[in-house]
Amino acid sequence: MLLKSEVSCDQELRPKSKISRLISPRTRRETGSGVRLTLSWIFILSIFCFATTRFICLCRASEDSTSPKSYPVIIDPGHGGTDLGAVYRGADPKSQPFYEKDAMLKLGLEIARLLKLENYPVTLTRTTDRNLSLKERSQIANKAKGKLFLSLHMNSAPTPKGLQSGGVETYILHTDSTDGSSKRLAELENQGKGPDAGISKTGHLTVDMIVKDLRLHGFHDESLRLGCLIQEELTKVTKQKHRGVKKAMFFVLLGADMPSVLVETGFVQSKRDRDLFLSIHSIRSIASSIVRTIRHFRQQNRAKSCVLL
């Protein structure tokens, strides 16, 4: 005979036994498998999220290292102030002379404006019509730690035959000149106005060249690649004569410790070339082509160079 307390306890235990019997061994196994499966998926998703985050971070780091924000560009509008550069005066004495210094400042300012729209840090060696020596220009470029240096100029033909001249030619620094015209042009450009403007033909030039030769090879290939890109893009846009990428001893390039080129964007004696710099639309087109070139130069580290004349 069962005691009342024993019956009560037995009755209390029975419901639990029934519930326990409802959960079969198979159900228990399936439940355990589901938990393990869930944990496995959580682990896999965690690994995936970590890997994805890491990949994004690496991509951003790579992008930052080559982004425009980390790529300072130096634009050097040639001449300025009392240094007029190449000048064209028409037959009519009342007509306004065409000054290289003014045309290159307009172009330089437009290039800088467009580069800043793409988040490039830009340094202009001059933003106004002022005297600036060749030495000061390269010092500005080096102080800004530029990734490239672009000096803007226009050419001048010394003979009546040159009145029919026109076109674009780009120069890189070299101890040898491509030809007599290149040598003459370098000599003219090296006669800049202002303190320490030109090159001494003895003493200091030799020392400068020895020092520069030690590091010149480090920028030669990149300068050539930059010059080739500018030459191709600019002549494609303006339809000017392609006069090639050449070499000469330009003092303004000698002092710049970075890939650097000097672009002769046209001839002041050529009406077609002059007209390009008398039109805001043309100046913007030329500036846009140079900005595209800088973008391609930054992105395409292994692009092929052209033939150096």
CA distance 37 to 284: 63
Under the banding of pLDDT at 50, 70 and 90, the label for residue 62 is very low
Look at residue 10 and tell me whether its pLDDT is greater than 60: no
The pLDDT, as a whole number, for residue 67 is 85
Cα separation of 55 and 106, whole Å?
A: 44
Range of lowest pLDDT (41-50, 206-215, 257-266): 206-215
Amino acid 57: pLDDT: 43
Question: What one-character-per-residue DSSP string does 210-258 give?
Answer: HHHHHHHHHHHHHHHHHHHHHHHHHHHHH---EEEEEEE--HHHHT--S
Q: Which amino acid is at 96?
A: Q
What is the structure's pLDDT at 252?
Answer: 86
Residue 194 pLDDT level (bands cut at 50, 70, 90): very low
**For residue 291, what are its two tokens?**
């900005």
pLDDT of residue 246: 92
- Give the model's pLDDT for residue 91: 81
Under the banding of pLDDT at 50, 70 and 90, the label for residue 55 is: low
Supply the DSSP string of 4-40, one letter for each residue.
Answer: HHHHHHHHHHHHHHHHHHHS-HHHHHHHHHHHHHHHH
Q: Give the pLDDT band (50/70/90) at residue 200.
A: very low
- Lowest-pLDDT range of 151-160, 203-212, 214-223, 264-273: 203-212
* Global pTM exceeds 0.85: no
Strand partners, 73: 122, 148
Q: What is the helix, strand, coil percentage profile of the chain, to 5?
A: 55, 15, 30
29 band by pLDDT with thresholds 50, 70 and 90: low
Q: Is the pLDDT of residue 92 over 70?
A: yes
CB neighbour class for 295 (10 Å; exposed up to 12, middle 13-18, buried from 19): middle
Instruction: Reduce the DSSP state of residue 71 to 3 states and report it.
Output: coil
Using the predicted structure, report yes or no on whether residue 195 has a pLDDT greater than 60: no
Q: Average pLDDT for residues 165-192, to the nearest whole number? A: 67
237 pLDDT higher than 70: yes
Instruction: Give pLDDT, residue 13.
Output: 45
Q: How far apart are CA 309 and CA 246, in angstroms?
A: 5
Which position has the higher pLDDT, 199 or 126?
126
How many CB atoms neighbour CB 81 within 10 A?
14
User: Residue 90 pLDDT more than 50?
Assistant: yes
**Pairwise CA distance, residues 197 & 294, whole Å:** 28
* Residue 151 neighbours by CB distance under 10 Å: 27
Q: Which amino acid is at 124?
A: L
Calpha distance 85→104 (Å, rounded)? 10
**Rounded to whole angstroms, what are the CA distances from 121 to 111, 118, 134, 145?**
12, 9, 22, 11
Band of residue 255 on the pLDDT scale cut at 50, 70, 90: confident
Residue 61 binned pLDDT confidence (cut-offs 50, 70, 90) = very low
What's the pLDDT score for residue 203?
42
Sign of the Cα pseudo-torsion (213, 78, 109, 236, in order)? negative
pLDDT at 297 over 80: yes
* Model pLDDT for residues 274-284, shown as the tens digit of each residue: 999 999 999 99
Query: Average model confidence (pLDDT) for the chain?
Result: 77
Contacts 24+ apart (CB under 8 A), 12-15: none
First-to-last CA distance in the chain? Answer: 121
More confident of the two residues 272 and 308: 272
User: What's the mean pLDDT in 212-238?
Assistant: 84
